[in-house]
């Protein structure tokens, strides 16, 4: 008796539906992707009961003829690839040709379509019940395609009972549509849930320039997710791939060529979009939207690269907010590794990760350096910029490193003293003195004149951009100090609070790193009793590759056997109670940072811990001179808006927020 039998086409489709159609959101995803591939300019999605009872997707795309409409219901029938070689360079959202027949096999399915280029008003309507075609007839319709899916999984009750509540399934659908709408701002999207319009997004026009695409994305992001403080990213680099000749094409021949040549192929990678400014973060990765060639994807390497790019501008346990697009040669990315196409694999994973981290880091540095750019424009030709030299005293316990600011016995500035001396930097405890960053940098030691009774005047010719003007790029006026820790400042936009401890941490941190870079090697102190540490083979091999870099950072590690290392020196500012745990943590930290992405991570981490101990603390009263130098040095920092641990140094409450809190506006 034969035990092996061929499955019927209907059963095969239902099995395939288990991979392609996981839930109603999977149906919406496949149908909307087909609409986008068909060059649709308008896409409408209507659902009922969370997609269980109704899913209707309508577009104004190319449409199909009667023959194509019937053929698209066959498995693996597609217009998007023709040969096996096409799999190596997929430029469309869908390509397998499984979605439509598998969806039709587990629902009551109606397809109405009409070609866009035909003059005839007659289209085609096909009715399918659980994979069986029941009727094919002519029908009038607008150009494009409309697919209606009712009673999903009606013939698979086991699958139907595993669906979640209507609200949960509707939330999954809305999440995917959010991704699709962000990926294609030039397409109008309408979403109707249980007869109620959830959103109706008009198409956003954008030109060919990347800056226009970013502005269109910002407008679509604002309409969907609200107004966040986001920074524009526009980064490009050359991606070089070294492929063997047989890797550049797909062949069904079993015999490989005797010799294979190395083919050097250069392609361009462009990274653009929006990322959160310092202080904008989430407790989870829900605020991260990553697209590869307009396809929403998940990739752990890109997630790590985002955190690496933010580095010490992000608090521990927080995640960046972003809407980032990677435009890359389709041949350099594999989108066919996941049945639902949620994950992708890059041919040069490390290179992609490095470029994403670099794009984020350069964007943050550009945001922080906007003050310097404005100063270069407004400085007189003979003016010299103030160098980064904070008022510090040397610390015997930390050779070659600065210590905290020496607290002054003077009391903190009061709220409204009438006769105090104005601070340099343009700060004054009098309510009439103001300062612009341009005049401060051009002549930082000059006194700011004031006239009694005059109202504050703010400089209005500051550089503006599509993103918010950096806080240190607006004129500020000192009001006072609260709790001997928080410095109160006023800007033309509202109230500004400065954390003196966090600000001084940032200043000392950047000064220490500057000295590390200038000296090229960190001071090292020999241990009284060297210790041996045995590592697993994988960790031992990784650590062996990092020994030269660790030596430059002051960590004396040397090989003492096949898997054993000898630790005999540490930087003078590193205290290690458990050497074995220190080495394991060191390996984990360097591996998480990524090979060659940031080999100075250990040095930065230990420096951050050091400056926290030696920075100005709460209850350390600072006089006018210390506050002057503190804010002046903060302006000169590369990334002044966060401390080395990612906490904000400055917080702003604009007048609109203040008016809402006092009930003046709703």
Tens digits of residue pLDDT in 390-427:
333 333 333 333 333 433 333 333 333 333 333 333 33
- If one compares 283 and 14, the residue with the highest pLDDT of the two is 283
Tell me: pLDDT of 513 over 90: no
pLDDT at 208: 79
pLDDT at 500: 86
The 3-state DSSP class for residue 234 equals strand
Where is 358: in which H helix or E strand? Answer: helix 349-368
> DSSP label at 648?
B
Where is 414: in which H helix or E strand? Answer: none
Name, of 179-183, 569-573, 580-584, the range with top average pLDDT.
Answer: 179-183
The 3-state DSSP class for residue 616 equals coil
Tell me: pLDDT of 458 over 50: no
Tell me: pLDDT of 203 over 90: yes
Tell me: pLDDT of 222 over 50: yes
pLDDT band at 613 (very low <50, low <70, confident <90, very high): low
Tens digits of residue pLDDT in 330-360:
888 888 777 667 788 888 888 898 899 999 9
Whose structure tokens read 């598998």?
Answer: 102
pLDDT band at 86 (very low <50, low <70, confident <90, very high): low
Structure tokens at 23: 């839930």
Rounded to 10°, the helix 166-183/24-37 angle is 20
Please give the average per-residue pLDDT across 470-475, as a whole number.
74
Whose structure tokens read 């590369």?
Answer: 638
Average pLDDT over the chain, rounded to an integer: 76
State pTM to two decimals. 0.71
Tens digits of residue pLDDT in 38-75:
999 999 999 999 999 999 999 999 999 999 999 998 87
C-alpha span between 229 and 467 (Å, rounded):
7
Structure tokens at 57: 């997707």
- Encode burial over 77-108: b for 16+ CB neighbours within 10 A, e otherwise: ebbebeeeeeebebebbbbbbbbbbbbbbbbb
Please give the average per-residue pLDDT across 221-237, as a whole number.
90
Tell me: pLDDT of 448 over 70: no
Structure tokens at 345: 């694999």
- If one compares 11 and 86, the residue with the highest pLDDT of the two is 11
Nearest in space to 338 (alpha carbons), one of 307, 292, 272: 292
Please give the average per-residue pLDDT across 122-140, as a whole number.
93
Residues making up the chain, counted from first to last: 666
Asked whether 463 and 370 are in contact (CB, 8 A), the reply is: yes
Percentage of the chain beyond pLDDT 90 is 29
DSSP-assigned states of every residue in 245-257: GGGGS----SSPP
Strands (E), 194-302: 196-201, 230-244, 262-276, 281-282, 288-292, 295-296
Percentage of the chain beyond pLDDT 70 is 72
Tens digits of residue pLDDT in 558-570:
999 888 999 998 8
- If one compares 591 and 663, the residue with the highest pLDDT of the two is 663
Tell me: pLDDT of 597 over 90: no
C-alpha span between 223 and 181 (Å, rounded):
10
pLDDT at 261: 54
DSSP-assigned states of every residue in 497-559: EEEHHHHHHHHHHHHHHHHHHHHSS---EEEEEEEEEE--HHHHHHHHHTHHHHHHTT-EEEE
C-alpha span between 568 and 566 (Å, rounded):
6
C-alpha span between 139 and 125 (Å, rounded):
6
Q: How far is CA 311 from CA 302, 361, 383, 479, 598, in A?
A: 14, 8, 34, 33, 10
Vertex 556, ends 550 and 557: CA angle to 5°? Answer: 80
């Amino acid at each position: 008796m034969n035990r092996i039998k061929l499955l019927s086409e209907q059963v095969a489709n239902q099995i395939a539906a288990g991979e392609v159609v996981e839930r109603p959101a999977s149906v919406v995803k496949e149908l909307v992707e087909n609409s986008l591939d068909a060059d649709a300019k308008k896409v409408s999605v209507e659902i009922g009961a969370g997609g269980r009872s109704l899913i209707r997707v309508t577009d104004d795309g190319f449409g199909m003829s009667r023959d194509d409409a019937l053929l698209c219901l066959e498995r693996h029938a597609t217009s998007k690839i023709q040969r096996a070689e096409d799999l190596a360079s997929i430029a469309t959202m869908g390509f397998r040709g499984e979605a439509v027949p598998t969806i039709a096999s587990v629902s009551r399915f109606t397809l109405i379509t009409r070609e866009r280029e035909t003059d005839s008003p007659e289209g085609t309507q096909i009715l399918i019940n659980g994979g069986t075609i029941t009727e094919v007839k002519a029908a009038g319709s607008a150009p494009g395609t409309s697919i209606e899916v009712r009673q999903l999984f009606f013939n698979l009750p086991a699958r139907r009972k595993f669906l979640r509540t209507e609200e949960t399934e509707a939330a999954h659908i809305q999440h995917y549509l959010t991704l699709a709408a962000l990926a294609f701002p030039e397409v109008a999207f309408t979403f109707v849930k249980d007869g109620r319009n959830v959103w109706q997004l008009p198409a956003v026009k954008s030109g060919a320039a990347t800056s226009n695409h970013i502005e269109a994305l910002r407008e679509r992001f604002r309409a969907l997710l609200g107004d966040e403080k986001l920074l524009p990213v526009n980064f490009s680099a050359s991606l070089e791939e070294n492929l063997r000749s047989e890797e550049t094409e797909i062949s069904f021949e079993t015999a490989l060529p005797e010799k294979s040549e190395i083919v050097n192929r250069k392609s361009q990678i462009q990274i653009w979009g929006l990322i959160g400014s310092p202080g904008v973060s989430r407790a989870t990765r829900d605020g991260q939207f990553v697209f590869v060639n307009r396809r929403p994807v998940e990739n752990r390497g890109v997630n790590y690269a985002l955190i690496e790019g933010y580095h010490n501008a992000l608090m521990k346990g927080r995640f960046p907010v972003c809407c980032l697009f990677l435009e890359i040669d389709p041949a350099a990315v594999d989108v066919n590794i996941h049945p639902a196409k949620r994950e992708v694999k890059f041919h040069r994973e490390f290179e992609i990760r490095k470029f994403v981290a670099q794009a984020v880091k350069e964007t943050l540095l550009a945001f922080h350096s906007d003050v310097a750019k404005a100063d270069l424009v407004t400085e007189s030709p003979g003016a010299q910029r103030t160098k980064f030299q904070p008022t510090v005293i040397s610390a015997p316990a930390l050779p070659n490193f600065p210590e905290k600011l020496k607290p002054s016995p003077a009391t903190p500035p009061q709220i409204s003293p009438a006769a105090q001396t104005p601070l340099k930097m343009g700060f004054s405890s009098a309510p009439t003195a103001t300062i612009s960053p341009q005049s401060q940098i051009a002549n930082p030691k000059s006194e700011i004149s004031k006239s009694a009774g005059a109202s504050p005047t703010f400089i209005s010719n500051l550089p503006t951009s599509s993103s918010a003007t950096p806080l240190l790029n607006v004129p500020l006026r000192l009001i006072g100090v609260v709790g001997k820790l928080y410095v109160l400042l006023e800007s033309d936009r509202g109230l500004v609070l400065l954390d003196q401890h966090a600000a001084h941490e940032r200043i000392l941190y950047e000064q220490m790193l500057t000295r590390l870079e200038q000296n090229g090697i960190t001071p090292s102190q020999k241990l009284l009793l060297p210790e041996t540490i045995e590592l697993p083979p994988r960790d031992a091999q990784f650590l062996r590759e990092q020994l030269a870099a660790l030596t430059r950072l002051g960590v004396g590690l040397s090989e003492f056997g096949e898997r054993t290392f000898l630790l005999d020196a540490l930087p003078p500012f590193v205290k290690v109670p458990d050497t074995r745990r220190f080495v394991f943590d060191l390996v984990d930290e360097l591996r998480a940072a990524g090979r060659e992405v940031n080999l100075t991570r250990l040095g930065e981490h230990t420096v951050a811990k050091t400056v926290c101990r030696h920075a100005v603390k709460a209850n350390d009263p600072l006089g006018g001179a210390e506050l002057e130098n503190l804010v002046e040095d903060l302006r000169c920092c590369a990334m002044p808006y966060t401390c080395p641990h990612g906490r904000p140094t400055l917080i702003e409450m604009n007048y609109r927020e203040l008016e809402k809190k006092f009930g003046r506006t709703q």
